[in-house]
Chain A
Amino acid sequence: MSAPNRPIPAFDRQGELSQSERIDVAMRSFVRDFGWTAALHVESCVRCGLCAEACHFYRATGDAKYTPALKLEPIRRAYFREVGPFAPIVRALDLVPRPTTGDLERWQELVYDSCNMCGRCTLVCPMGIDIAELVRDMRHGMFVAGLVPERLALMDRAARQWGSTATPGEDLPDILAEVSERYGVAIPCDLDRADMLVTAAPAELTEHTKALAGAAKILDRAGVRWTMHREGFDASNVGFNNGDVELQERLTRALIDTAVKIGAKTVLLPECGHAYGAARWEAGKWYAGEVPVRVIHMTEFLDESLAAGKIRVRRIGESATFHDPCQIVRRGGLEAAARRVLAALGFELRELQDHGVTGFCCGGGGGVVSNVRSAPLRARVFEMKKAQVEATGAKHFVTSCGQCRITLEQGAKATQWTKSPESLLELVADNLVD
């Protein structure tokens, strides 16, 4: 496979490793991550290129360098040189070249700026290759090699220090007190005992505080004994996105261990896709036996509470379309749950042309929304989503992930689009009835 034949785009470096050390540590990490599934997926690619059509970055630009299979090139090389069936021969004859630092720098753009790890490409791949997961493995290697976009590295440092990218834990009680006062709803913090540990996405502690207040309203109405806690409150796992496995473990443990400490049986995740990916599907990596608590997404909680009659909502009776957040639907399995909540709200659902498991990513997932460098690319992806939303003619544009909302809000602002994505949680909170 050929390297993208372009000038090297802006790339960032962290740490003091020499060129060759960066390659060594990246290669070691790539190699370490190979189990059956990853090996099968690297081995079975037939380079048919069908995955290009599934990827919004390719679709929006028509540039072949965004072909999903190409994003995996360095890890593919690492596999065939170090792990694969004929590795010694491949190495001896240099049949597959060893990646250079130049390659890794070039691929920084492909795996961090132009992949949301959304998994849409897997659906079209005739070999069923899970490219999103391999991109994550690549990010592990890139992270240890200190080749992460600086903005994401900055967030990583904040999260390592504070346990959150938004605020240090000590400030949480004050922030919650302000939100309580502003919306007139109590938000318990640091209770010694509770049945449910409620967590937030960073934006809910800053610009999306209404979502947090809405959650509080619904939890109270459902009669849940809950609390937030300064020792584990930010569920958006930046380690999961960046490829910082150590941080991913630390952030996951902060949530689950805090829940165990206060006797909670459930950790409630906010409207955040990657929080779900990290805590629901990957917490098992860090707990030898079973994950000691149930981990659920806000959409599941809304769905279950409505089904059990613990909360009731007014039927809005207008038309709506729904953006399926990738980590919650295509990678998380909550397609039907979100639609049941929309139905309870009495929406006439007008599906996007591509919806459910085949819905397009908003373009911001996997930390891309925080990566300033990729803003022009995101804007082009946004145009695709905007066109699909407009084609439905629906009055409301709803989603269940705060990160998607931020990405879509940015797109709307840049294009003076009057439609603003609404939160499913906030719609439920605003329409609660006794």
Chain B
Amino acid sequence: MTLLEFARGPALAFAIAVFLLGSAWRLWTIFRLPRLADRSPAREGAASPAAGALHAIVRAMWPRRSFARWTHFLTLNGYVFHVGLAVVFFGYAPHIAFVRRLTGLSWPAFPDPVMYVAAGVTIVSLLFALLWRLTDPVRKTLSTADDTISWTVTFLPLLTGMAATSEPSAAILARDHAIYTTALSIHLLSAELLLVWFPFGKLMHAVLFAFSRGASGIRLSHRGVNV
């Protein structure tokens, strides 16, 4: 079995299994806990729990005016790398071809220059986030090993992906087999590392954020707090 066959076969299957089962397990261990429902009478005219949750999920997308400018800047940086990662993963033609092989699903790709810019901006933004974490006293105090691991497994696929991209997408897709197999294998394995780590660390916030915001939204809207 070649390295590429390994990366595309058993390693990929393993990573997807860990990702799905691990995430499901993590969610289950939260929701098996008691509900501890709020038994106080709701404020007259309070929004329904669903409306309260939804409002909180949407409201938390951008900080309020009363918070300082650097909060807005950090939030913006967060958006840059989140959106950048999504564009790079979902918009790059060879990624779409990869997903189509696995699932049969496909969608139009962005042109290559857009992808290069997106990857570049995402890398800079992630480097900025790292720098901030390593230098700012608040973030230094809060950081755990999870932050280092999560940052690394997010950054590696970008880096290895750039290394594996030495030709235009059209040329890559025109061939029926990969020629830069080592670079591609390493790229795939790095992405699989991200999938494997996902359920164990803070990357899981990609799923939890809605529940977490929603839970506070339900609590506060029950009280008629206009957040």
B30 touches A126 (CB 8 A): no
Interface string of A125-165 (1 = CB under 8 A from B): 11111100100000000000000000000000000000000
Output the least CB separation between A399 and chain B (Å): 18
Residues 314 to 363 of chain A near chain B (Cβ within 8 Å): 329-336, 353-354, 356-358
Of all chain B residues, which has the CB nearest A129? Answer: B212
B33 touches A70 (CB 8 A): no
- For B43, the chain A residues whose CB sits under 8 A away are 333
- For A290, the chain B residues whose CB sits under 8 A away are 41
A127 touches B209 (CB 8 A): yes
A331 touches B225 (CB 8 A): yes
- For B30, the chain A residues whose CB sits under 8 A away are 36, 39-40, 43, 85
Most buried by B among A36, A284, A287, A336: A36
Q: Is B113 an interface residue (CB 8 A)?
A: no
B33 touches A35 (CB 8 A): yes
Q: Is B211 an interface residue (CB 8 A)?
A: yes
Complex interface: stretch among A9-17, A49-57, A191-199:
A49-57
- For B226, the chain A residues whose CB sits under 8 A away are 333, 335-336, 356-357
- For B70, the chain A residues whose CB sits under 8 A away are 53
Interface string of B126-144 (1 = CB under 8 A from A): 0000000000111111111
Output the least CB separation between A64 and chain B (Å): 4
Q: Is A285 an interface residue (CB 8 A)?
A: yes
Output the least CB separation between B68 and chain A (Å): 6
| Residue tally, chain B, CB below 8 Å to A | 61
Q: Is A83 an interface residue (CB 8 A)?
A: yes
Q: Is B215 an interface residue (CB 8 A)?
A: yes
Pick the contact of B211: A34, A40, A84 (CB < 8 A): A40
Q: Is B66 an interface residue (CB 8 A)?
A: yes
Complex interface: stretch among B96-104, B163-171, B197-205:
B197-205
A53 touches B71 (CB 8 A): yes
Known: A44-B208, A50-B74. Contact between A128 and B215, CB under 8 A?
A: yes
Interface string of B47-81 (1 = CB under 8 A from A): 00000000011001001101110110011001000
Complex interface: stretch among B8-16, B114-122, B216-224:
B216-224
Interface string of A51-80 (1 = CB under 8 A from B): 011100010000011010110000000000
Cα A50 to Cα B70 with chains together (Å) = 9
Q: Is B35 an interface residue (CB 8 A)?
A: yes
Q: Is B1 an interface residue (CB 8 A)?
A: no
Known: A2-B141, A67-B142, A332-B225. Contact between A50 and B35, CB under 8 A?
A: no
- For B139, the chain A residues whose CB sits under 8 A away are 47-49
Most buried by A among B40, B136, B138, B220: B138
Q: Is A281 an interface residue (CB 8 A)?
A: yes
B33 touches A46 (CB 8 A): no
- For B38, the chain A residues whose CB sits under 8 A away are 281, 284
A64 touches B141 (CB 8 A): yes
- For B63, the chain A residues whose CB sits under 8 A away are 50, 124
Output the least CB separation between B204 and chain A (Å): 7
Q: Is A123 an interface residue (CB 8 A)?
A: yes
A85 touches B215 (CB 8 A): no
Q: Is A176 an interface residue (CB 8 A)?
A: no
A281 touches B138 (CB 8 A): no
Output the least CB separation between B198 and chain A (Å): 13
Q: Is A41 an interface residue (CB 8 A)?
A: yes
A41 touches B215 (CB 8 A): yes
A47 touches B41 (CB 8 A): no
Q: Is B179 an interface residue (CB 8 A)?
A: no
Q: Return the 3 tightest CB-CB contacts between A and B, nearest first.
A: A284-B39, A333-B224, A35-B36
Which B residues form the contact surface with A (CB < 8 A)? 25-26, 28-31, 33-36, 38-41, 43, 46, 56-57, 60, 63-64, 66-68, 70-71, 74-75, 78, 136-144, 146-147, 199-200, 202, 204-205, 208-209, 211-217, 219-220, 223-227
A-B contacts besides A36-B31, A39-B29, 4 pairs, CB < 8 Å: A67-B142, A123-B227, A126-B78, A281-B223
> What are 11 A-B pairs at a CB distance below 8 A?
A35-B36, A36-B36, A37-B215, A39-B30, A44-B209, A47-B139, A53-B68, A67-B141, A69-B142, A84-B29, A85-B199
